[in-house]
Each structure stands twice: as structure tokens, then as C-alpha cells.
Structure 1
């Protein structure tokens, strides 16, 4: 149960993308780059970023890495992209450290999965105030299934929860459910479930997916395939990753349920 829950939240955590370009940045060239991106002139944006990157600009190095990874404005090249992310990370750009940490978790972009390196990069980004990194670091610590790691993970989430960070609240809720099942503590399970349901009511997509899965599986709350179908259908319309697949699964389950023979009623 714990591994499944932790894996699901890692998959649903925030995706990396082109870092927002701040027009108030010290270098006014970023305003020009922003205009090129909006005009979908990715080749021009790449060339402009390359010019800034050669001057050692950390944000430019990261964005150049992203364009190289995604093959926008240049040929797709994971190896080169990783080198650019490394350079940006070395210059203290937290998003680059976060991206490297995420890739070391799952072993993507030609890297082998390496939890130790993942922790190193996520800790670096976390210490620089990047909240997403703190959440993913906590999740990684929870996956170690050690009391000291759990304690460290909870410590990472606590200040974010106090700020009302939905990601952190969701991670803590899933931890509470996992720990509750492991330690046979119903109170912990209910606490986590309540938090997830509250987030779902606020429209937080990972929580909605979690509630949908709970309704579909019927392991934590009573199975309700109709409610699961409603949730996944709404999320699929918003092109939420995994929602269409989950919707298809639940729809198939409902069809099979409808075909199943009904139990005979006893006559008095």
C-alpha cells in the first residue's frame, strides 16, 4: 500500500517546464526572449538564450537545457540538456537542481535511478527555498521506510503545511494513510483521508485523482464506481494525465458489473 501511494504522488507531482521569464530581470534581454517565446519563435529564443548562457546566466542555462531536452529551437539532446542543467545548478539555480533530482528518482534522460543523488539535488533546491523540491524530498525520504527518514520528511513538510501548500498537505495525507495502515492506526488513516477529501473539494487535481482511485478500488472507502467515473470524466475533459486511462478502466468495470448476474432473492 505504502509503495503504491508514494509512487502515485511522485507521478502526480509538478512537471518541469520552461522557467517563467521575469521581465524585471537584471538582464533586459529576457524581455526579448519572452516575446520570442510568445511568438513561438523557438529558434530565435534558443539563440538568444544561448547568448546569455555563454555569459554565465543561470536562468538562461536552465531554459536552454529545457529547450534542448524538449527539442524546441534545436535538436533534442538529453545528454547536452543534462550538462546545461548541471551548469545552472552549480550556479545556484534551484529549478535546475530540482529537475536533476527528479530525473535521478525515476532514472530518465539516460540516467540510472540513484536515490542518493536525487536526495542531494532535491536537498540543494529545498535549501534554496524551492517548495516543490522540499515536497519531493519528503516523499523520497518516506519511501525509505525508516523512522529517522520519516521524521526528516515530516520536518520538510511542516513549514509548507503551515503556509497552506496543497502539495505538502497532500503528501502528508498520503503518508498518514500509509502509516495508519502499517501501524493499524485508524485515526491516522481517517486524518489523511479527511485532508485529501478537503483538498479535493478545493479542486486540487492530485487529491481528486486520489479520491477517484479510492472510490474505484474500494480499499479505503466503500467502492463507488459511479462517483469515480464522474471524477475521472471531469478530469479527462481537462486533459489531466492518467485521467482518461482511469476513466476507461472504471467504465469497463461498470459495464462488467452491469452484466454480472444479480444474486437471487429469497422468497419468504
Structure 2
């Protein structure tokens, strides 16, 4: 399937998932999953259609799909893996691995990762060496790209009298 048609299928599947039509979304995604499209893997990692799939089976499938999509360079999946490792959700907690995944997703241009990695840089958290200037730059990029919570994060930095904004 060409990229334009695949993008449209992904958008339709997202709408169906949001409306509770997971089976219909899965049916739309099947050809893209067969092609190994990371966007489809990422979406399918977010829902289950089988009542026979246990919670443990869902979590295992979800994590594997996130890994595969991340390995194929899909930044939202890389970011989601970072969240898993930071929180210890589906895997043993590993904040160093989480920060590396956030950096990778940020370097790939993923807006949410810019906020997270930017804050890690600004505060020197999650094992990331402190770099206030680079951190502020990424937070501001996240604001410009409409990331929820980014403006509030900058307001908190300002309120604490930190960083030259």
C-alpha cells in the first residue's frame, strides 16, 4: 500500500478506536500489519479485540509491538517504550533506558518526547546531564508544536526563577 493510502487508513483506524470500533479498526489495520508498518503496530498495541486474550497476553503483545515499531524508527512507539521503562510498566523499571528512548524520540522530532527530554535536560534528571539551555529550547519547541502540558512546564520553570526564558 502506498504511503498516502496507508496514512488515510491509519487516520480512519484512529477514529474508529476512539469511537470504540476496535474490531473495525483492526480489520482496517490488518493489511498494514502484514506489511510491517510501524504506525499500524503502534495502534494495534493500544487495544485488544479478542475476549480470549488475557491481560498478560495483551501486555506481552503490546510491548512486543511497541518494540517492533520503535525498531522500525517510529518515534511515538519509542516514546511509549520510554514511558514503560520509566514507570516499570510491562518491564522492570530502568530510568537510564527510559531517558535514552526519550532522547531518541526527541531527536527524531516527536513533540511529546521533546518536552520530556527537554525537562530531563533542564533539571538533569533520569540520568541526563544537566543542560538548561538545550532543555529550555526543547520545551519551547514542544510548546510551539502544541504539546499538552508544555506551556505549564515552562510556567513552573519561570515561577521557580529558573532558566532564562
Q: TM-score, normalised by structure 1?
A: 0.48
Residue 44 of structure 1 and its aligned partner are, at CA, apart by: 3.3
Alpha-carbon spacing, 1:107–1:143, altered in 2? closer, same or farther (3 Å): farther
Name the residue aligned to 2:30: 50
Alpha-carbon spacing, 1:60–1:126, altered in 2? closer, same or farther (3 Å): same
Alpha-carbon spacing, 1:66–1:170, altered in 2? closer, same or farther (3 Å): same
Worse-superposed segment, 32-41 or 76-85: 32-41
How far, CA to CA, are the matches of 1:174 and 1:86 in structure 2? 33
How far, CA to CA, are the matches of 1:60 and 1:147 in structure 2? 31
Instruction: Check if 1:97 corresponds to 2:72.
Output: no
Alpha-carbon spacing, 1:157–1:35, altered in 2? closer, same or farther (3 Å): closer
Does structure 2 retain, via aligned residues, the 8 Å contact 1:50–1:64?
A: no
How far, CA to CA, are the matches of 1:29 and 1:92 in structure 2? 19
How far, CA to CA, are the matches of 1:145 and 1:107 in structure 2? 13
Instruction: Decide which of 60, 64, 73 is 2:49's aligned counterpart.
Output: 73
Name the residue aligned to 1:127: 107
Alpha-carbon spacing, 1:174–1:127, altered in 2? closer, same or farther (3 Å): same
Aligned length: 154
Query: In the TM superposition, what are the counterparts of 1:149-168 in structure 2 within 5 Å?
Result: 149-151=130-132, 152-161=134-143, 163=144, 165=146, 167-168=149-150
Structure 2 unpaired stretches of 5+:
none
Alpha-carbon spacing, 1:176–1:128, altered in 2? closer, same or farther (3 Å): same
Residue 97 of structure 1 and its aligned partner are, at CA, apart by: 1.0
RMSD (Å), alpha carbons: 3.4
Name the residue aligned to 1:25: 4
How far, CA to CA, are the matches of 2:129 and 2:12 in structure 1? 48
Instruction: Decide which of 119, 135, 138 is 1:139's aligned counterpart.
Output: 119
Alpha-carbon spacing, 1:154–1:90, altered in 2? closer, same or farther (3 Å): same
How far, CA to CA, are the matches of 1:38 and 1:101 in structure 2? 23
Alpha-carbon spacing, 1:45–1:150, altered in 2? closer, same or farther (3 Å): same
Alpha-carbon spacing, 1:168–1:32, altered in 2? closer, same or farther (3 Å): closer
How far, CA to CA, are the matches of 1:119 and 1:125 in structure 2? 10
Residue 107 of structure 1 and its aligned partner are, at CA, apart by: 1.3
Structure 1 unpaired stretches of 5+:
1-23, 181-187, 196-268
Name the residue aligned to 1:106: 87
Instruction: Decide which of 144, 151, 155 is 1:173's aligned counterpart.
Output: 155
